[in-house]
Amino acid sequence: MPQQINAVELLARLNNGEQLNLIDVREAMEYHTYNIGGRSIPLSKLEQNPDTMGYNKTDEIIVICKVGLRSKTAQTILLQNGYQNVKNLAGGLIALQKLK
């Protein structure tokens, strides 16, 4: 079962100043409109070349998008390519924004 992280847990970790490997898989325009940091790697780009990110296969990676659907797809792609600790932000950035 693929792992998830909920908005409450992610917000707590961000507020604690943790350095997280966040990958935002929305398109560049969406990312520039609103983001919480992390790397902008649109899903289409990630699909073409998942191994160019520079992370170790064992690093914790948290994939995020607007509602959690594109990031779920990204999570599947990364897991299929040997990444072992990929978490999807459940409910996406919308769930996070509701907490702020």
CA distance 1 to 16: 28
CATH second-level architecture of 3-99? 3-Layer(aba) Sandwich (3.40)
Q: What is the pTM of this model?
A: 0.95
| pLDDT tens track for 53-85 | 889 999 999 999 999 999 999 999 999 999 999
Paired strand residues for 63: 23, 88
- For 27, counting Cβ atoms within 10 Å of its Cβ (0-12 exposed, 13-18 middle, 19+ buried), the class is middle
Paired strand residues for 3: 87
Q: Which two tokens stand for residue 46?
A: 């990630």
pLDDT band at 86 (very low <50, low <70, confident <90, very high): very high
